[in-house]
Every structure is written in C-alpha cells, then in structure tokens.
Amino acid sequence: MKNSVPEGRLARAGIAGKTALRLGVAQLKHHAKRPFLSPSRQQEERDSLDDKNARLLFATLSQLRGTALKAAQMLSMEVDLLPEAYRRELEKSCHQVPPLNRVLVRKVLLEEFGEAPETLFRDFAGTAFAAASLGQVHAATLHDGTPVAVKIQYPGIHVSIDSDMTLLRQLAKGMPNSRLILQSLDEIHARLREEVDYLHEAANTRWFGEHLSLDGIALPTLHAEFCGKRVLTTSLIDGQHLDDWLKTMPDQASRDRAGQHLYDLFVHSVRELRCLHADPNPGNYLFHPDGRLSVLDFGCVKRISGEFAAMLPCILGAYLDDDPKALFTAYRALGMLHGEDGERLYEKILRPFGHWLVEPLREPVFDFARHTDYSSRGKEHFQRLSQLSQSKLNRLADEFIFFDRTLYGLCRIFERLGAKVSMRQHWIDA
C-alpha cells in the first residue's frame, strides 16, 4: 500500500474507475455461473465474492483515504446496509488505515503553523499510532512536558469532498443494496462538509469538555494553540479499541459497566446537554480495564431542540402503551404530520417499529448477550421508515435521524460487549 494520497481528481477517478470495473466484472461472472450451481454452492460463491470485493474495496478506499473512506466508514455503521464481509473490512477505516509518510505530515504542519514539528513540539513521533479516513494521529510532547495526540488531516481532503462522493456513488453501484446505499450517501455528504473543518471539531471538543461530567467517562483536553483547520491537538489518552479490549477477556462486570456508561452518556447528551455525539463507531471509544471509557472525535455532533427532548418520553410511552393517538399528538408537536392513512401508517410501519424500539424498556435490565439479534431485527424497521413517502408523513424531524442511528450503533456495540444495560430507568422510572 502506498503511503501517499492521490490528490488530483483524474488520479483519484482513475483508481475508483478501475475498482468499479473490477467489481462489475466480478458481479457479471457470478450471475453467469449461478444457474449452473446448487443452492448451497450459490451461497458459497456469493460469500466468497463478497469477501474478495470487500477486500478490494477497502484497499482502494485506503489508497484514496479522505471523504471517500470516511463515507464508507459511515456506511459500515448504517443499519446493516452492507453484508458482513463489507462491514468487517470497512470498519477497519475506524483506526487501521496505513499511515502517511513523514514528508506529508511535515508539509501539513508547516502550512498550518509555519513551523516544523521539531520546533512546535519538544518531541514528535514521526510515525502515526492511529490512522483513519480523514487523518492520522501522532504522539507528541509539548515544551512543558505534556503528552498530546496530534491529529493531522490528509492533504487535499478539504477540496475533494464533492468529487470523492461522486467516486463513491460510482463504486456503490456495484455493491449489494446499492439503491439504499446511494440514498444514505446524500446525507453523509452533508455531514462530511462539517467534519473536514477541524476548527469545528475543536469547538465541539471544548464545549463537551466544559459541559459534560459523568462518572466513568473521560474526554480529551483541547490544546487550542496547536489547532487549525487541518490539525487538532488534544491530551493523549491511554486505552484500547473495542476489539483489542475484548481480547483481554474483561469480566462481565466490566463489560456491563462499559455498556452502561455508553448508554448513560447517550441519554444525558440528549435530555440534559441537548447536544449529541452522533458518530458511535467503535474507533471513537477507548476502553479501560475496569469498564471506564474515553470518548474521542467530536467532528459529528447534533444539537437537540428542547421540544424534541421533551417529547421523547411521550413518544416512547405511547409506543409502550400501544397508543397511536398519544403518539401522533407527540409527533404533531414536533411538526410531523400524517395524511388520512394515519391508522394504516401506524399498523403497518410505526407499531412494529415501536414494538422493537421499546423492547429494552420493558425489562429493568436488558441482556444483550441473550438478545444478540436485537440490532439486526431493527434493520427492516429502519429501512421501512426511511422509505416513507411524503403522503404518509410530511417530514421526519432530523433529530430522529441522529437519535435512531446513534442508538442503533450503540446497540451493536452492546451486543459485541455482551453487556447487560439498564435502559428503562432513563425514560420510564425516572
């Protein structure tokens, strides 16, 4: 893998085009063989093709990096749109992308601050200890001896968003569920415009540092004098990413504690802070031996209105009580109106979704080790909600999009933890 980033539009388009062609040819060959294979062999061939295509896609996106890779990372968290092979490979973009060489790192620091890394810092590790889609992270030491993490954005990222998204849409056409993936990419495109500005992330990091105080949750401290549009410097936090932490075989109490901390943070952010850390990919959390955790990366943050925070308990209560009248009253308070087919809308779509949504609220503690299929069962409901036409529901409060997807992403983490999480108390027993 080359440790440089192709910056020109033609160079990036050429890489994506070759990959799209290979994906398309592989799909054609597979469809040509299917009629001559038994059902079991068809599935084996399908799984093998997904594995090969997923590796090819990840290799290509790792070379392109930037918003193309970040968007793919977001897709890996999107309501199981992708087969497991694709999700597993793309999830590597959270923290396993090959790092850039030192020359390009030096170039970014010089452009941002007019000084080389050896002048800005007492010590600066030339090799990144973490590399993801938009940037990579280096350990450094300030002149006063403070250890810090310096996140550096890859060159050309901020000017390649539109062209990268065009490339990813081209690649998506050869992937399973291409129609739904293309719909999701439209919203991802808008979110990425904010995330490439590290000054925006710095402001979010500072805000959460000033307003969030929860037991078991640690946040990085911002060092604003070493931050710019393409550089973000925070305190260096020890900890392990989810997969590495699980390999240490933490006991059940630690896994339960980690899951509870994540859920407490989610609800506290929505109901009290009214500002949600809305990017729950595993790479944004560091786990500690006793179940404490550190939260990273505040590039994707969603402000929550007072009206939405106030209506959430009403909506969840209406679903628990199977009360469509109370539900639509709460939805109308948020400006979400339905047409004359409200009863049918409730019976066909909203009631099944609500039954799934409040399932964890019917028990004092929900055991994700016993309900390992909870998030996968939500897949169909989210997809049906996303396809509601204007005639059925005139708009969906945008807070719901971030609330539902963040909750869904956290539940997937709870399943991997096999954690027991108390969720009811935040909404019903409080």
What confidence category does residue 180 fall into, taking pLDDT thresholds of 50, 70 and 90? low
CATH classification code of 102-153+197-235: 3.30.200.20
pLDDT in tens, 126-157: 888 887 667 889 999 999 999 999 999 877 77
- Whether the pLDDT of residue 304 is over 50: the answer is yes
What's the residue count for the chain? 430
- Whether the pLDDT of residue 394 is over 50: the answer is no
> What letter would DSSP give residue 150?
E
What's the rounded mean pLDDT across residues 97-103? 67
Helices (H) and strands (E) in the chain, counts: 17, 12
Q: Write down the domain spans for the chain.
A: 9-97+158-190, 102-153+197-235, 239-430
Does residue 319 contact residue 357 with C-beta atoms inside 8 Å? yes
More confident residue, 313 or 103: 313
The fraction of the chain above a pLDDT of 70, given in percent, is: 72
Task: Name the residue among 158, 221, 227 with its Cα closest to residue 194.
Answer: 158
How high does pLDDT run on average in the chain?
Answer: 82
pLDDT in tens, 265-302: 999 999 999 999 988 888 899 999 999 999 999 988 98
Q: What is the DSSP string of 185-200?
A: HHHHHHHHHHHT-HHH
What confidence category does residue 38 fall into, taking pLDDT thresholds of 50, 70 and 90? confident
| CA-to-CA separations, 429 to 164, 203, 270, 362, 363, in angstroms, rounded | 47, 35, 17, 11, 11
Both tokens assigned to 343: 């009863």
